[in-house]
Amino acid sequence: MQRVLSSDLWKTVHAKAHLSRCRKAAIAYVTQDLIGFRKGNTLIVNASISAVTTGETNAKLLLKLHKRGVHVYDCACLHAKVVLLDDLVIIGSSNMSNSSATALVEVGVMTDNTSIVAGVASFIEQLIPQSIELQAKHLARLCKIKVIRRGRWLPGVLRQRKPKIRLGNRTWLVGVRELVRDPPPDEQKLIDRATSMLQSKLDDPTLDPNWIRWAGKSRFRKQCQEGDSVIQIWRPHETKRPGGVRRRTGVLLKQKTQKWTRFYLKESIGSYVEMPWIRFKRLLRELGYPKHIGPTSSILLEPDLADAIDRKWISRSKS
């Protein structure tokens, strides 16, 4: 799905949000809830004194959302406008306000492209620990600020430290095999810790993420990061021939030690998440891919090829 939204932007976002379980957004200025945030959702805003004083962010609305159970964060340098709804993202020019919804000319792109969804998810997750979570006492103080609309920006905002964001947006094709033995106790503790953290982030206590354990020196181990995507050439441990290929899915977390790196992956959804090995090789030939791939491949794909594979995959799942 690729759509450009303008006059129907917030109407469409609200409708999509109503059908989504996960709602996360980083929107600089907020004066109205046009998404329909619920308990456990995440909203990052610019709630600086300047933004509240000039009326660009409504502290009383943030307090209301906090009481509803929404995780509200303040990033004084924020100017982004992105919304993540399950496996759908909207990126655009629009703040969340009545004027944006009714009076201003806005534009946004709505997409379910795996790379872009993974990139936006990574952006939000990296922004959260570099922002301040607003509790009731902070919001109560903000609510006492006298609002002077159309006022100029107050000093201090430009001196705020700008968050550092490294966006993964690449797709890797890698060969993986089933492990013969369960992880040793020390590794299992790290897996349990990572799983618990992801369950908390994704508001899903039942989540049991897939993971890839990678040892040795390789470009994939060094360069793959959160927000990248992975297509897995999978094989059982007792065979040399791949059993199938698993559809592209996003990297949620990269866990590093000196001996190995473990990549935790977003669960693939849909009815056709695995393709037979022979059919996948045929798909690559149809796309004109000239290189040899095998069960131990570790390849960084060109963005256009990765998207073409995804489109072919979807078309074949419907045929």
Asked if residue 164 is part of any domain, the answer here is no
* Greatest Cα pair distance in the chain: 70
Sequence-separated (6 or more) residues with CB below 8 Å from residue 188: 182
Backbone phi, psi, residue 240, to 5°: -95, -20
Q: What residues have CB less than 8 Å from 282, skipping those under 6 apart?
A: none
Angle 302-308-310 (CA atoms, 0-180°, nearest 5)? 105
Segment 264-300, tens digit of pLDDT: 998 776 668 899 999 999 999 999 999 889 999 999 9
Q: What is the pLDDT of residue 319?
A: 59
The predicted structure's pLDDT at residue 153? 47
Q: 314 or 49: whose pLDDT is higher?
A: 49
Residue 237: give the domain boundaries.
171-318
Query: Does residue 70 have a pLDDT over 60?
Result: yes
Average pLDDT in the chain:
87
- CB contact at 8 A, 219 and 299: no
Tell me, yes or no, whether 177 and 151 share the same domain: no
Residue 38 inside a domain? The answer is: yes
pLDDT by residue (tens digit) across 101-135?
887 888 889 998 888 888 898 899 889 989 999 99
Provide the number of structural domains found in the chain: 2
**Domain limit, last residue, from 159, 194, 221:** 159
Nearest residue to 276 via CA among 307, 317, 305, 311 = 317
Q: pTM for this one?
A: 0.65
Whether residue 265 is found in the same domain as residue 222: yes
Mean pLDDT value across residues 138-164: 69
Could you tell me if 113 and 222 lie in one domain?
no
